[in-house]
Structure 1
């Protein structure tokens, strides 16, 4: 079973949602048969490279209310992140463009599948939210990607060109086709869409339900004969119909 997750590197709720999904899968009996694929979504495709201001300043300009009000909001989000074991530094995160990070995630998926992509996704989110690093910096992106397991040459080729740019755009288009206007957005087995960083039990319920629907209960069809005349073999041998 596959779970597709649309998210952005610079989305604080996306990291929280990732942890809650992971918690749900930890309690799922068939978790080793579930693949999580990370899809691209850009909250602000026009964000600059390199960044020129903090996310606090950028949000205050966008929504008004001043940096103090935005800082209070960020503090509340940080408290929720802490409950999931995440130590956010939202007062230091930068307003930046995430396109190159998304392109590297597509590279990871292509060469190493969901497991390698998941390792890179985690490393990028930690770099941005916990370490408050500039994830537009190509030297840093190369370091993170290679540490996650990607080949140096492949990473440099992607960062120096436009490889996987179309794939990022296709992900965004698919999210819009699903009706997702924000992230995180989860699609469980192509059947159930979940919008936002919902509580762990919501993810657990969706995963259990989708799995059950993939594994329908066996329905036994009654035969025209029964007992010894039905003809069957077991550990003690084969039945022989009586005349």
Structure 2
């Protein structure tokens, strides 16, 4: 089985959904034999790298709701993440452009070490949702990447260039071609799709059904 999934570091449902998918794969004994490929998907590619707006303002404006409604919804998302053992502090997250974070992930993937890439992805999620730091800040990105096992000089060189930007755009173009308009979105064996942060049991059942169909085929 092969799985590729479109995701954004600034997307709480991507963080939650991918965590559930990984847990489901482990439960079914598929984790060791199932490549899980992270595909770049920017929820809002128009965001600047620096802004004075806080996340509550950004969220309420983007979703057409009051600040109180935004806070309530963001607290619901935090509770949803907590059910999966994740800290999802969206209220204190920094609204920013995620292109450079995606470029770092693409660079990590060139090392052909799935565990390393996974560590980088998780570190960036934690920077964004747990530490309230900007994932457009090159110093922050470098520190997270180095902590995950990448070389500081190499990461800095990537960030100082436009390396891997085209790879990010290619992922986004592929999503458009497939009719994917939101994240997370999981594509299994290039045929089956699972959209959103589905409940854990739903993901387990979906994987079991796909397994059965593949055996029948």
Q: Which residue is 1:109 aligned to? A: 109
Cα separation, 2, equivalents of 1:214 and 1:101: 35
The answer as to whether partners of 2:50 and 2:96 remain within 8 angstroms in 1 is: yes
TM-score, length-scaled by structure 1? 0.84
The answer as to whether partners of 2:103 and 2:168 remain within 8 angstroms in 1 is: yes
Q: Deviations over 1:161-199 (max 9, x none)?
A: 000001000101111111111100011121211110011
Alpha-carbon offset, residue 131 of structure 1: 1.3
Moved over 6 A (4+): none
Cα separation, 2, equivalents of 1:33 and 1:210: 15
Alpha-carbon offset, residue 100 of structure 1: 0.3
Cα separation, 2, equivalents of 1:142 and 1:29: 34
The answer as to whether partners of 1:36 and 1:118 remain within 8 angstroms in 2 is: no
Q: How many residue pairs end up in the alignment?
A: 217
For structure 2, the residue ranges without an aligned partner over 5 or more in a row are none
Q: Which residue is 1:67 aligned to? A: 67
Alpha-carbon offset, residue 5 of structure 1: 1.1
The answer as to whether partners of 2:22 and 2:31 remain within 8 angstroms in 1 is: no
Q: Which residue is 1:142 aligned to? A: 142
Q: Which residue is 1:163 aligned to? A: 163
Alpha-carbon offset, residue 216 of structure 1: 5.2
Alpha-carbon offset, residue 122 of structure 1: 0.7
TM-score, length-scaled by structure 2? 0.94
For structure 1, the residue ranges without an aligned partner over 5 or more in a row are 218-243
Does residue 176 (structure 1) correspond to residue 176 (structure 2)? The answer is yes
Cα separation, 2, equivalents of 1:132 and 1:112: 29
Specify whether residues 114 and 57 from structure 1 end up closer, same or farther in structure 2 by C-alpha distance, changes over 3 A only: same
CA RMSD of aligned residues (A): 1.6
